[in-house]
């Protein structure tokens, strides 16, 4: 049964759950719905892990499995990806131009990665899981996670290089000097 300790554990990971859900769905509303479904599923379970680390991995596994179930039932992954790429949100007004450009470039490069690479980077780099925890969630060996993370980061760097992203500060200097 879900008790006070579980509510504390949930409070500590809720924002990470949302971050992972957002990385999977690429849509804030859909991510919020996915997190809500995950919490309902977790709270209604009879066998809830007691230890915080096990609870965290268990909840992320629930979230991921819910996402997979949704994708299987809707069969609209390609349409969703296309809609998201075409409906990019306006960047926030508060960050400097350079931060906005870099965020958009990384987001675009992230979307070009394979599903396996996006999954592993979302867990390790966005949600902050260790390799062991990510391996547990994805149900693959730790070495596979380490390899995928390395290849995903390399691929992300390569994609960013192909996009010829130049920080604005250097681009402006070139314009002043030229």
Residue 41 neighbours by CB distance under 10 Å: 14
Is 97 or 40 the better-scoring residue by pLDDT? 40
DSSP assignment of 93-151 equals: SSS-HHHHHHHHHHHHHHHHS-HHHHHHHIIIIIS---HHHHHHHHTS-HHHHHHHHHH
Question: d(Cα 14, Cα 26) in Å, to the nearest integer?
Answer: 17
Domains and CATH numbers, the chain: 1-85 (no CATH), 93-172 (1.10.10.10)
Between CA 169 and CA 173 the distance in angstroms is: 6
Residue 44: the pLDDT is 87
- The 10s digit of each residue's pLDDT in 118-170 is 989 989 988 889 999 999 999 999 999 999 999 999 998 888 888 765 555 55
| Model-wide pTM > 0.75 | no
Cα–Cα distance, 37 to 105 (Å, whole number): 31
Q: How far apart are the first and last CA of the chain?
A: 68
Which band of pLDDT confidence, cut at 50, 70 and 90, is reported for residue 9?
confident
pLDDT tens digits, one per residue of 13-48? 999 999 999 999 889 999 999 999 999 998 888 888
* CA separation for the pair 96, 77 (Å, rounded): 33
Cβ–Cβ < 8 Å for 118, 23: yes
pLDDT at residue 94 in the model: 42
- CA 36-24-80 angle, to 5 degrees, is 100
CB count, 10 Å around CB of 63? 25
Task: Report the chain's mean pLDDT, rounded to a whole number.
Answer: 81
pLDDT of residue 2: 75
């Amino acid at each position: 049964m879900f008790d006070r300790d579980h509510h504390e554990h949930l409070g500590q990971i809720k924002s990470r759950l949302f971050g992972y859900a957002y990385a999977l769905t690429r849509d804030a509303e859909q991510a919020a719905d996915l997190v809500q479904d995950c919490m309902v599923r977790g709270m209604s379970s009879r066998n809830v892990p007691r230890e915080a680390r096990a609870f965290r991995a268990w909840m992320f596994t629930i979230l991921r499995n819910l996402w997979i179930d949704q994708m299987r039932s809707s069969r609209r992954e390609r349409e969703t990806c296309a809609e998201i790429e075409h409906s990019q949100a306006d960047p926030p007004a508060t960050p400097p131009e350079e931060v906005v450009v870099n965020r958009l470039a990384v987001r675009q490069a992230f979307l070009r990665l394979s599903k396996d690479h996006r999954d592993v980077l979302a867990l390790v780099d966005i949600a902050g899981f260790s390799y062991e925890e990510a391996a547990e969630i994805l149900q693959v060996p730790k070495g596979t996670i380490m390899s995928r993370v390395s290849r995903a980061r390399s691929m992300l760097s390569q994609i960013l290089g192909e996009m010829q992203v130049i920080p604005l500060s250097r681009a402006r200097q070139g314009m002043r000097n030229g």
